[in-house]
Amino acid sequence: MVAAGGLDIARFFLALAAILVAAKLLGELAERIGQPAVLGELVAGVLLGGSVLGVVPAEGVPAQMIHVLAELGVLLLLFEIGLETDLREMFRVGPASLAVAVVGVVVPFGLGYAYWMYAPHPAAGLGDLTTSAIFVGATLTATSVGITARVLSDLGRMATPEARIIIGAAVIDDVLGLVILSVVSGVAAGAAVTVLGVLRTLAVAVGFLVVAVLVGRFLVPRLFDVVVRMRVRYVLLTFAVAFALGLSSLASVAGSALIIGAFAAGIILSGTNQFDTIEREVHPLAAIFAPIFFVSVGASVDLRLLNPALPSSRGTLVVAGALVVIAIVGKVAAGWAAPWAPMRRLVVGVGMVPRGEVGLIFADIGRRSGVLPPDVFGAVLLMIMVTTFVAPPGLKAVFGRREESAG
């Protein structure tokens, strides 16, 4: 009650209520016009964001609170997806996922780097051209596993081989993204980047996932057979959520990403005997918090960047247009990366298109270190926005065509 250390709780809760209601109303509208609900939640974010209504807090402690609740939302979402993941099926599609991920990182990075080095473009960074080209390339690499997973789930396609390959590739993307992040951070700080350092980052990120799942699948089911004998209310759910939070933190400390820890926690708990209860009780939690993530992604969109009447935004729009083409072409090409796998290649390619959190992090490091000037930063933001907004209807369209294709 009243204010607590500068934070007006009543006002914050009112903003939260508005976020939840707007997410559901626009999600419903999206579904009624045949689109995935997540598209409506993103649009709700744009409307509630600083460009239009300014309901989503943009700075200070309330903004940090929304950020934490959004992270909790994407964490619960990945945890839920992990719970629904059949580990055996994932291993079966593993090589295809790996090929899709690697091609989907290398091609957009290469095209982005080449565009910045050799094509004419209006803006130049503060540092040398090579450094800013590396940054531009890096922002094009990582698929947003959160967006893609929600679209697949909205379309009711989570159990298809394409969905498994996409989710697997998006998770591998995040691991590769961490490696690129360490390189890019080093470049921004002016440090020498060694092959050994890159390999160490890769080993830590991959090692964490493998060790966590192997050890966890052995130990955790035994732990939960004890937990289930406790009498206090909702003890399974509480331990499951605490496990997801704890493994996410551990992943982050070990140099991996929070959401990879949450995904691993879900995969581990899918091997427990109490799996059904946990999954049923996690659903309402994820349903409340995940939309906060998508609304806050939408709220970060600055609509002024889209106005061609403003002279300042014309150059940005040109660069953004080029980046969008590279972003889409690069990831769609990745759909053809695994010629042996029986899958609809266009579906996989389109499914990899949305960029999100990781691209935003790269862009933000570049902006703060001065490597990316404001207009290039704006162009990267636009590219991330467009790929995010294009993917839900795109995936719906290609999945909707119902062709039975094996390449």
Residues 260 and 251: beta-carbon distance below 8 Å:
yes
The residues near 262 (Cβ < 8 Å, ≥ 6 apart) are: 74, 75, 76, 78, 79, 82, 244, 247, 248, 251
Query: In the stretch 145-174, what mask flags binding to its own copies with x, by CB under 8 A?
Result: ------------------------------
Q: How far is the CB of 80 from its own copies (least distance, A)?
A: 11
If you count DSSP H runs as helices and E runs as strands, how many of each does the chain have, helices first? 15, 2
Query: Judged by CB under 8 A, which of 39, 42, 44, 75 binds its own copies?
Result: 75
Query: Judged by CB under 8 A, which of 90, 198, 285, 390 binds its own copies?
Result: 285
* DSSP notation for 154-219: HTT-TTSHHHHHHHHHHHHHHHHHHHHHHHHHHHHTTPPPPHHHHHHHHHHHHHHHHHHHHHHHHH
Q: How far is the CB of 197 from its own copies (least distance, A)?
A: 18
- The piece of 57-65, 215-223, 298-306, 331-339 that touches its own copies (CB under 8 A) is 57-65
**3-class SS of residue 339:** coil
Report the distance separating Cα 343 and Cα 365, nearest Å: 37
Tell which positions 216-275 bind its own copies, by CB under 8 A.
230-235, 237-239, 241-243, 245-246, 248-250, 252-253, 257-259
Residues 100 and 335: beta-carbon distance below 8 Å:
yes
Q: According to the binding rule CB under 8 A, does residue 17 interact with its own copies?
A: yes
Supply 31's token pair. Answer: 């579904």
Q: Which is nearer to its own copies, 74 or 103 (CB)?
A: 74
Query: Judged by CB under 8 A, which of 283, 304, 368, 401 binds its own copies?
Result: 283
Q: Which is nearer to its own copies, 292 or 320 (CB)?
A: 292
Residues 157 and 400: beta-carbon distance below 8 Å:
no
Q: How far is CA 162 from CA 78, 103, 158, 169, in A?
A: 18, 16, 9, 10
CA angle 93-98-103, nearest 5°?
A: 130
Q: According to the binding rule CB under 8 A, does residue 339 interact with its own copies?
A: no
Q: How far is the CB of 363 from its own copies (least distance, A)?
A: 14
Tell which positions 291-320 bind its own copies, by CB under 8 A.
291
Q: How far is the CB of 137 from its own copies (least distance, A)?
A: 20
Q: Count of residues binding its own copies (CB under 8 A)? A: 65
Q: How far is the CB of 40 from its own copies (least distance, A)?
A: 8
- Binding residues vs its own copies (CB under 8 A): 1-2, 4-7, 9-14, 16-18, 20-21, 23-24, 27-28, 31-32, 37, 61, 63-65, 67-68, 71-72, 75, 230-235, 237-239, 241-243, 245-246, 248-250, 252-253, 257-259, 281-285, 287-288, 291, 357, 361
